[in-house]
A = this chain, B = another copy of it.
Amino acid sequence: MDSAVLLDLLGNENRRRILRLLSHKPCYVTEISEYLGVSPKAVIDHLRKLEETGLIESHTDDRRRKYFHIARDVRLEVNVSRHGFGTKSAYPANPSLDIQGRCPHMHIDLELRSTGDGAGDDRDTDDGAVRSGRGGHADADAADAADAADDAERDDRREDGDDDRPDELAALAAEFDELQDLENELSLAQRWVHGRMADLLDRVNDRLGVDADSRFYAKLLAAVTSTDGSHRAVVEEVDADSEAVEDGLRRLADADLLAREAGRWRLVE
């Protein structure tokens, strides 16, 4: 879903209240209207906007009354910063995604007891996952995964009762607790990255003697060092307009930070 469309929708308090209500339970228009203290006509207007974007959908019950519910989960992130304004929206990832293989800069440590298909197990069955970690850490990671699998097994044995229903419920409750903790930790980690990034880009500014577009210059510098330094490779790496890249590189050269030799840019040493 487009972030701008989502932000337009979420910019209205009554629409936010409708979404909050529908996230608790599916509702009829009359219920929503009463809860919000807003006319049915206005509610229908909000519902139409929400339905157009696919965020909610309607069904009719056996008495042919129309009710609404949330159609699709979606997640939005917005970063407002002196160094850039970024929005990102996305649907949830598939729970069986090999998250560890996709995240070489972090190791997720969960005991997902209710399913047995947690991060640890993913890595056991997917060779690529451990290898995509960094060099010497792979062994430690593999050991961690084995530990986690052992722990999970022990826990399962310990809690097995005569009836497996309550056990399953306890496992669901425990997994809920862990996922909630991880959710909070990931948010905190992103705030930390945000802070470090702002700090870093302030230093890039200082280094460059500019007061604008530090993120773009940092991208250019990173692209020059991580590619062969040809114009084409840098443009591809930063995924920006060719002229803007040329202009940016020239400015960095004017500041004696870059030099071009045989058509390739490099940091000045």
Contacts and interface: CB of A to CB of B under 8 A. Distances in A.
Interface of A: 4, 6-13, 16, 19-20, 22-26, 55, 69-70, 73-85, 87-88, 90-95, 97, 99, 102-110, 112, 114, 133-134, 136-137, 140, 143-144, 147, 161-163, 165-166, 168-170, 172-183, 185-201, 203-204, 207, 211-213, 218-219, 221-222, 224-226, 257, 267-269
Contact of A95 (B178, B188, B196, B207): B196
A176 B103 contact: no
Given A187-B77, A211-B25, A211-B26, A114 B16 contact: no
Contact of A193 (B74, B80, B186): B186
24 contacts: A4-B16, A6-B78, A7-B7, A8-B11, A19-B85, A24-B213, A25-B213, A70-B81, A70-B82, A73-B82, A77-B78, A93-B192, A93-B194, A94-B195, A103-B188, A105-B181, A106-B182, A108-B189, A162-B269, A166-B269, A172-B218, A176-B204, A180-B197, A182-B189
Given A13-B4, A75-B77, A76-B77, A95 B182 contact: no
A170 B220 CA distance: 11
Instruction: Indicate the member of A26, A110, A182 with the most B CB atoms within 10 Å.
Output: A182
Integer count of this chain's copies in the complex: 2
Which one of A6, A90, A92, A175 has the greatest number of beta carbons of chain B within 10 Å? A92
Nearest to A159: B269
Contact of A103 (B22, B103, B189, B226): B189
Given A97-B192, A136-B147, A196-B95, A168 B207 contact: yes
B23 A83 contact: yes
B7 A10 contact: yes
A135 to B, nearest CB: 8
A76 B55 CA distance: 19
Contact of A11 (B11, B180, B211): B11
A221 B93 contact: no
A226 B268 CA distance: 58
Contacts of A9: 11
A13 to B, nearest CB: 7
A215 B130 CA distance: 33
A20 B211 CA distance: 15
